[in-house]
A = this chain, B = another copy of it.
Amino acid sequence: MTDIELTSDLTVELVQQVGDDAAIARAARVSTGADKTEHDFAANAKLISYLMKNRHGSPFEHNSMTFRISAPIFVIREFMRHRIGWSYNEVSARYKKLEPRFYVYPERRPLVQSGSSAHPDIQAGAPELTAKTNAGVTKAYQSSWRTYEALIKQGVAYEVARTVLPVGIYSDMYATCNARSLMAFLSLRVDEAESTFQTKPQWEIEQVARQMESKFASIFRATWDAFDLNGRVAP
Protein backbone atom coordinates (compact mmCIF):
# COMPACT_ATOMS: atom_id res chain seq x y z
CA MET A 1 0.00 0.00 0.00
CA THR A 2 1.57 3.26 -1.15
CA ASP A 3 1.43 6.07 1.34
CA ILE A 4 0.82 9.31 -0.50
CA GLU A 5 -0.35 12.63 0.90
CA LEU A 6 -3.54 14.13 -0.53
CA THR A 7 -4.33 17.77 -0.07
CA SER A 8 -6.27 20.68 -1.56
CA ASP A 9 -3.96 23.31 -0.05
CA LEU A 10 -2.66 26.01 -2.35
CA THR A 11 -0.27 28.05 -0.25
CA VAL A 12 1.27 31.45 -0.81
CA GLU A 13 3.79 32.96 1.59
CA LEU A 14 5.19 36.48 1.16
CA VAL A 15 8.89 35.91 1.86
CA GLN A 16 10.29 39.40 1.39
CA GLN A 17 9.23 42.71 -0.11
CA VAL A 18 10.34 46.29 -0.58
CA GLY A 19 8.57 49.40 -1.80
CA ASP A 20 5.11 50.83 -1.24
CA ASP A 21 2.69 53.44 -2.58
CA ALA A 22 5.08 56.21 -1.53
CA ALA A 23 7.93 54.67 -3.53
CA ILE A 24 5.68 54.45 -6.60
CA ALA A 25 4.66 58.09 -6.23
CA ARG A 26 8.28 59.14 -5.69
CA ALA A 27 9.45 57.44 -8.89
CA ALA A 28 6.63 59.12 -10.80
CA ARG A 29 7.44 62.53 -9.35
CA VAL A 30 10.98 62.51 -10.67
CA SER A 31 9.44 63.43 -14.02
CA THR A 32 8.58 66.87 -12.67
CA GLY A 33 11.55 67.08 -10.30
CA ALA A 34 9.35 66.77 -7.20
CA ASP A 35 10.58 63.37 -6.02
CA LYS A 36 12.43 64.69 -3.00
CA THR A 37 9.38 66.40 -1.51
CA GLU A 38 7.35 64.48 1.06
CA HIS A 39 3.66 63.92 0.30
CA ASP A 40 0.92 62.43 2.41
CA PHE A 41 -1.12 59.34 1.64
CA ALA A 42 -3.94 61.30 0.00
CA ALA A 43 -1.58 63.09 -2.39
CA ASN A 44 0.15 59.85 -3.30
CA ALA A 45 -3.18 58.10 -3.83
CA LYS A 46 -4.36 60.86 -6.14
CA LEU A 47 -1.22 60.66 -8.22
CA ILE A 48 -1.37 56.85 -8.35
CA SER A 49 -4.97 57.00 -9.52
CA TYR A 50 -3.91 59.38 -12.29
CA LEU A 51 -1.05 57.07 -13.34
CA MET A 52 -3.38 54.06 -13.41
CA LYS A 53 -6.06 55.79 -15.49
CA ASN A 54 -3.55 57.05 -18.02
CA ARG A 55 -1.51 53.83 -18.15
CA HIS A 56 1.76 55.33 -17.00
CA GLY A 57 3.11 51.93 -16.02
CA SER A 58 6.80 52.37 -15.28
CA PRO A 59 6.53 53.95 -11.78
CA PHE A 60 4.83 50.76 -10.57
CA GLU A 61 8.02 48.76 -11.19
CA HIS A 62 10.26 50.19 -8.44
CA ASN A 63 9.41 47.62 -5.80
CA SER A 64 9.67 43.87 -5.31
CA MET A 65 7.69 41.02 -3.79
CA THR A 66 9.01 37.48 -3.38
CA PHE A 67 6.46 34.73 -2.81
CA ARG A 68 6.94 31.07 -1.93
CA ILE A 69 4.18 29.08 -3.57
CA SER A 70 3.20 25.43 -3.17
CA ALA A 71 0.89 24.15 -5.87
CA PRO A 72 0.44 21.28 -8.33
CA ILE A 73 2.58 21.30 -11.46
CA PHE A 74 -0.43 22.24 -13.63
CA VAL A 75 -0.67 25.52 -11.69
CA ILE A 76 3.09 26.16 -11.88
CA ARG A 77 2.87 25.56 -15.63
CA GLU A 78 0.24 28.27 -16.10
CA PHE A 79 2.17 30.58 -13.80
CA MET A 80 5.39 30.41 -15.77
CA ARG A 81 3.72 31.67 -18.91
CA HIS A 82 4.18 35.09 -17.25
CA ARG A 83 7.65 36.03 -18.40
CA ILE A 84 8.20 39.77 -18.01
CA GLY A 85 8.91 41.17 -14.57
CA TRP A 86 8.82 37.66 -13.10
CA SER A 87 11.64 35.53 -11.70
CA TYR A 88 11.28 31.89 -10.73
CA ASN A 89 13.09 29.09 -8.98
CA GLU A 90 11.38 25.75 -8.55
CA VAL A 91 11.97 22.29 -7.11
CA SER A 92 13.92 20.20 -9.59
CA ALA A 93 12.75 16.67 -10.31
CA ARG A 94 16.18 16.08 -11.84
CA TYR A 95 18.11 16.86 -8.64
CA LYS A 96 15.83 15.30 -6.08
CA LYS A 97 13.19 12.62 -5.60
CA LEU A 98 9.89 14.48 -5.35
CA GLU A 99 7.64 14.21 -2.28
CA PRO A 100 4.47 12.07 -2.65
CA ARG A 101 2.10 15.01 -2.23
CA PHE A 102 -0.84 15.25 -4.60
CA TYR A 103 -3.74 17.56 -5.29
CA VAL A 104 -7.38 16.53 -4.81
CA TYR A 105 -10.43 18.68 -5.47
CA PRO A 106 -12.17 20.44 -2.57
CA GLU A 107 -15.98 20.34 -2.41
CA ARG A 108 -16.39 23.98 -3.50
CA ARG A 109 -14.41 23.51 -6.72
CA PRO A 110 -16.78 23.35 -9.76
CA LEU A 111 -15.99 20.30 -11.90
CA VAL A 112 -18.32 20.09 -14.87
CA GLN A 113 -17.60 21.61 -18.25
CA SER A 114 -20.34 23.52 -20.05
CA GLY A 115 -20.20 26.01 -22.88
CA SER A 116 -18.13 25.32 -25.98
CA SER A 117 -14.60 23.93 -25.79
CA ALA A 118 -13.15 27.31 -26.80
CA HIS A 119 -15.23 29.11 -24.16
CA PRO A 120 -15.32 26.57 -21.34
CA ASP A 121 -17.53 27.46 -18.43
CA ILE A 122 -17.13 25.24 -15.41
CA GLN A 123 -20.17 24.49 -13.24
CA ALA A 124 -20.71 22.58 -10.01
CA GLY A 125 -21.78 18.98 -10.63
CA ALA A 126 -23.85 16.47 -8.70
CA PRO A 127 -23.08 16.41 -4.93
CA GLU A 128 -21.21 13.13 -5.05
CA LEU A 129 -19.10 14.04 -8.09
CA THR A 130 -16.20 15.47 -6.07
CA ALA A 131 -15.83 12.29 -4.04
CA LYS A 132 -16.09 10.13 -7.14
CA THR A 133 -13.57 12.25 -9.02
CA ASN A 134 -11.12 12.26 -6.15
CA ALA A 135 -11.43 8.49 -5.81
CA GLY A 136 -10.39 8.01 -9.45
CA VAL A 137 -7.71 10.64 -9.23
CA THR A 138 -6.25 9.16 -6.04
CA LYS A 139 -6.01 5.70 -7.51
CA ALA A 140 -4.18 7.07 -10.52
CA TYR A 141 -1.80 9.06 -8.30
CA GLN A 142 -1.03 5.98 -6.23
CA SER A 143 -0.33 3.89 -9.27
CA SER A 144 1.96 6.57 -10.75
CA TRP A 145 3.83 6.99 -7.49
CA ARG A 146 4.31 3.24 -7.14
CA THR A 147 5.82 3.11 -10.60
CA TYR A 148 8.02 6.14 -9.87
CA GLU A 149 9.42 4.47 -6.76
CA ALA A 150 9.88 1.14 -8.52
CA LEU A 151 11.80 2.79 -11.35
CA ILE A 152 14.11 4.56 -8.90
CA LYS A 153 14.63 1.27 -7.10
CA GLN A 154 15.61 -0.30 -10.44
CA GLY A 155 18.39 2.28 -10.61
CA VAL A 156 17.12 4.76 -13.19
CA ALA A 157 17.78 8.46 -12.63
CA TYR A 158 15.20 10.71 -10.98
CA GLU A 159 14.82 12.62 -14.25
CA VAL A 160 13.99 9.36 -16.03
CA ALA A 161 11.54 8.07 -13.46
CA ARG A 162 9.64 11.36 -13.26
CA THR A 163 8.09 10.88 -16.71
CA VAL A 164 5.25 8.93 -15.07
CA LEU A 165 4.46 11.59 -12.47
CA PRO A 166 1.15 13.38 -13.00
CA VAL A 167 0.76 17.15 -13.27
CA GLY A 168 -1.30 16.94 -10.06
CA ILE A 169 1.84 16.34 -7.96
CA TYR A 170 2.98 19.28 -5.82
CA SER A 171 5.92 21.52 -6.49
CA ASP A 172 7.33 24.54 -4.64
CA MET A 173 8.67 27.72 -6.14
CA TYR A 174 9.91 31.19 -5.37
CA ALA A 175 8.34 33.81 -7.60
CA THR A 176 9.50 37.44 -7.55
CA CYS A 177 7.60 40.25 -9.25
CA ASN A 178 6.81 43.95 -8.94
CA ALA A 179 3.47 45.75 -8.61
CA ARG A 180 3.19 46.20 -12.37
CA SER A 181 3.95 42.61 -13.35
CA LEU A 182 1.73 41.36 -10.52
CA MET A 183 -1.20 43.46 -11.76
CA ALA A 184 -0.69 42.05 -15.26
CA PHE A 185 -0.90 38.57 -13.72
CA LEU A 186 -3.95 39.41 -11.60
CA SER A 187 -5.78 40.95 -14.56
CA LEU A 188 -5.66 37.53 -16.28
CA ARG A 189 -5.80 35.12 -13.33
CA VAL A 190 -8.57 36.64 -11.20
CA ASP A 191 -12.10 36.76 -12.57
CA GLU A 192 -13.98 39.77 -11.21
CA ALA A 193 -17.25 41.19 -12.52
CA GLU A 194 -15.84 44.71 -12.68
CA SER A 195 -12.89 43.77 -14.90
CA THR A 196 -12.70 45.62 -18.22
CA PHE A 197 -11.49 42.42 -19.87
CA GLN A 198 -13.25 39.16 -19.17
CA THR A 199 -10.98 36.30 -18.14
CA LYS A 200 -11.57 32.64 -17.33
CA PRO A 201 -8.65 31.46 -15.21
CA GLN A 202 -8.56 27.89 -13.98
CA TRP A 203 -9.96 27.65 -10.45
CA GLU A 204 -6.70 26.59 -8.80
CA ILE A 205 -4.47 29.37 -10.15
CA GLU A 206 -7.19 31.86 -9.24
CA GLN A 207 -6.97 30.72 -5.59
CA VAL A 208 -3.23 31.34 -5.69
CA ALA A 209 -3.70 34.70 -7.41
CA ARG A 210 -6.32 35.84 -4.89
CA GLN A 211 -3.96 35.14 -2.01
CA MET A 212 -1.25 37.15 -3.74
CA GLU A 213 -3.70 39.97 -4.41
CA SER A 214 -4.69 40.10 -0.77
CA LYS A 215 -1.05 40.48 0.35
CA PHE A 216 -0.43 43.02 -2.38
CA ALA A 217 -3.51 45.05 -1.38
CA SER A 218 -2.39 45.21 2.24
CA ILE A 219 1.00 46.74 1.31
CA PHE A 220 0.06 48.85 -1.72
CA ARG A 221 -3.30 50.18 -0.56
CA ALA A 222 -3.62 53.13 -2.92
CA THR A 223 -2.26 51.16 -5.86
CA TRP A 224 -4.65 48.29 -5.32
CA ASP A 225 -7.60 50.68 -4.94
CA ALA A 226 -6.71 52.38 -8.21
CA PHE A 227 -6.28 49.00 -9.92
CA ASP A 228 -9.60 47.69 -8.70
CA LEU A 229 -11.56 50.88 -9.33
CA ASN A 230 -10.25 51.27 -12.87
CA GLY A 231 -11.31 48.00 -14.42
CA ARG A 232 -8.37 45.90 -13.21
CA VAL A 233 -6.26 46.56 -16.30
CA ALA A 234 -2.53 46.53 -15.51
CA PRO A 235 -1.00 49.95 -16.25
Contacts and interface: CB of A to CB of B under 8 A. Distances in A.
B164 A141 contact: yes
A33 interface: yes
A15 B33 CA distance: 16
A117 B96 contact: yes
A77 B77 contact: yes
Interface in A105-141: 105, 111-113, 117-118, 120, 122, 125, 129, 132-133, 136-137, 139-141
B32 A117 contact: yes
A54 B163 contact: no
A66 B122 contact: no
Contact of A144 (B120, B144, B202): B144
A132 B154 CA distance: 9
A3 to B, nearest CB: 18
Contacts of A164: 136-137, 140-141, 144, 166, 168
Given A30-B173, A84-B83, A159 B122 contact: yes
Contacts of A11: none
A79 B148 CA distance: 23
Interface stretch (A37-45, A56-64, A218-226): A56-64
Copy number in the complex reads: 4
A154 B140 contact: no
Interface in A191-210: 196-199, 202
Contacts of A140: 143-144, 147-148, 164
Interface of A: 15-19, 23, 26-28, 30-33, 35, 53-55, 58-59, 61-64, 66, 68, 72-74, 77, 80-81, 83-84, 86-96, 99, 103, 105, 111-113, 117-118, 120, 122, 125, 129, 132-133, 136-137, 139-141, 143-144, 147-148, 150-151, 154-160, 162-168, 172-174, 176, 178, 187-188, 196-199, 202, 233
